[in-house]
Amino acid sequence: MTASLVPARPAILTVDDDPSVSRAVARDLRRRYGEQHRIVRAESGESALEALREMALRGDDVAVLLADFRMPGMDGLQFLEAAMDLYPAARRVLLTAYADTDAAITAINVVDLDHYLLKPWDPPEEKLYPVVDALLEAWRASDRRPVCETRVVGHRWSARSNEVRDFLARNQVPYRWYPCDDPEAARLLAAAGLDDQTLPVVVTPAGETLVAPDDAQLAERVGLSTTPASEFYDLVVIGGGPAGLGAAVYGASEGLRTVLVERTATGGQAGQSSRIENYLGFPDGVSGAQLTDRARRQAVRMGAEVLTARDVVALDVSGSGRTVRFSDGSSITAHAVVLATGVSYRELAAPGLADLAGRGVYYGSALSQASSCTGDDVYIVGGANSAGQAAVYFARHAKSVTLLVRGPSLEASMSHYLIEQIAGIPEITVRTCTEVVRAEGDGHLERLRLRDRNTGAEEVVDAPWLFVFIGAAPRTEWLDGLVARDPAGFVLAGPDLMTGGARPPGWPLDRDPYLLETSQPGVFVAGDARAESVKRVASAVGDGAMAVSLVHRYLERS
């Protein structure tokens, strides 16, 4: 392994178990980048990881990691996954042979890979340098300041402890989790003069101790924006999923004073997806968290304001103003509103589940729990894409994943690519025509009673983890009496409001409602909350963009 006594230059590290290939890669990199960067090479994942640990202790920067896919002991994928803990901002490249292309694409699900390169890449001027140039540019533009972590002390089976972890993870707030039986947890509690009866306890980077904080307190103390900068806006977007983020990006970029209000975390259900593989422009897939974090940063860069942990409870219409009221009694007003409130997962009604929610039973993916599932048996209820994506993700950690599907097959509700992917993962078992009829456990989930819907036969299985994805209900109950909704609660808009060609009752304008306009002029709906919408990320983003163009039309005629 090469070394340098000049720590000021950021490193490019390459690891390949074939000495001739390792030397060739280092030679090509040194020829182009040697003046501004240290070129560090290793011939095993273990030695490369040790080199990274030494550089981290010295405070050296690492810009790019290039790892061969096939290596004995620790392969390239395992190395990159471990390296993420030491240098999360470093750009990651997997080196593959032509025969490994399919495996490399599948492996992209495991690490947030920036690129993969086919060997050999002669000439490097065409096939290697343009890739590394782009990665170095992205690295230089990234925020590489030391991460100040929030620390969370809680109980493994505490519902609120797990909600705190999920809130921080979904809002991209770095944190470290300490179970209450960890020695460091005891030290933190003792330093704060607390005991394990006060959990969860959150210690902020500034050293402030929060005892069982609610989401609003937590958001404020960890640096999330919760207070509006103004009392009046051109556009208020309610909901921070793909539709809301799309509306915020296009609204702000087109000159509207825009604020997006989200009650938990931007991203919505899409943000909780472990992998989205059918979104246009991402042929290798992208995690929901990564996609929605990029969208949030894009909206902010365009000038949109993003408020987190603000629960909207009412919307009032008075003249040309639309007033959005929050649960704490405060409010903001705007010319126009886009409802992008999305949907929430429906809950299973089987006995025992409600008591164990957050204690082994989770609605949605709860990706923050994945590491805790290592070596355990995980059960997932649902037959659509969300359930399938979660099964693929948890299969990397759990001993086994069982997908429980009420219907006779997955074909009716799951994308074909995902069905094929599941079929190729031996840790996943699909049980069709099966339902959960009871959950049992002392303080946390321990067992499930399952029923075969064809035969009626029941069995009890040991199950410490259950994740539920059984369809969705719109978050629109607070709009009752203000805008027209269908019997399921989805918001009606545009042509769906017209009955026999007649405008909706009470419609005050001499024109028909615009395509995404609700029964209240100037109030639009986008994404999954809209009746008859297509429940896909791309269509939600399109709804958000279209809603902004209709807002402009509305404002021009008001």
Q: What is the pLDDT of residues 287-324, one digit of tens each?
A: 888 888 889 999 999 999 999 999 999 999 999 999 99
DSSP H stretches of helix in 424-501: none
Q: Which tokens go with 191? A: 């330093």
Neighbours of 37 (CB within 10 A): 21
Token pair 């025992």: residue: 352
Average pLDDT value for residue range 218-224 = 93
Q: What is the pLDDT of residues 144-196, one digit of tens each?
A: 655 567 999 999 899 999 999 989 988 988 888 999 999 889 988 988 889 88
With b for 16 or more beta-carbon neighbours within 10 A and e for fewer, the 433-451 pattern comes to ebbbeebebeebbeebbbb
Instruction: Return the SS3 of 512.
Output: coil
Q: Give the per-residue pLDDT at 117.
A: 84
Instruction: Return the SS3 of 258.
Output: strand
Residue 396 to residue 360: CA distance in whole angstroms: 18
Residue 272 pLDDT greater than 90, yes or no: no
Nearest by Cα to 159 from 194, 200, 198, 202: 200
Question: CA 113, 116, 119: angle at the middle one, nearest 5?
Answer: 155
Question: CA 268, 273, 279: angle at the middle one, nearest 5?
Answer: 95
Residue 375 to residue 377: CA distance in whole angstroms: 7
Residue 279 pLDDT greater than 90, yes or no: no
Q: What is the pLDDT of residues 353-363, one digit of tens each?
A: 999 999 999 98
Residues in Cβ contact with 410 at an 8 Å cutoff, skipping those fewer than 6 apart: 383, 388, 419, 422, 430, 432
Average pLDDT value for residue range 454-483 = 94
Residue 32 to residue 51: CA distance in whole angstroms: 22
Q: Give the per-residue pLDDT at 2.
A: 39
* pLDDT category of residue 86 using cuts at 50, 70 and 90: confident
The structural domains of the chain, ordered by start, are 11-141 (3.40.50.2300), 150-221 (3.40.30.10), 232-343+474-557 (3.50.50.60), 354-470 (3.50.50.60)
CA distance to 29, 71, 492, per residue, from 118 (Å): 16, 15, 50
- Residue type, position 58, single letter: R
CA distance to 302, 376, 422, per residue, from 352 (Å): 47, 21, 29
Residue 4 pLDDT greater than 60, yes or no: no
Q: Give the per-residue pLDDT at 7.
A: 45
Q: Are 428 and 418 in contact (CB under 8 A)?
A: no
Q: What is the pLDDT of residues 314-365, one digit of tens each?
A: 999 999 999 999 999 999 999 999 999 999 888 898 999 999 999 999 987 6
Give percent of the chain above pLDDT 90. Answer: 65
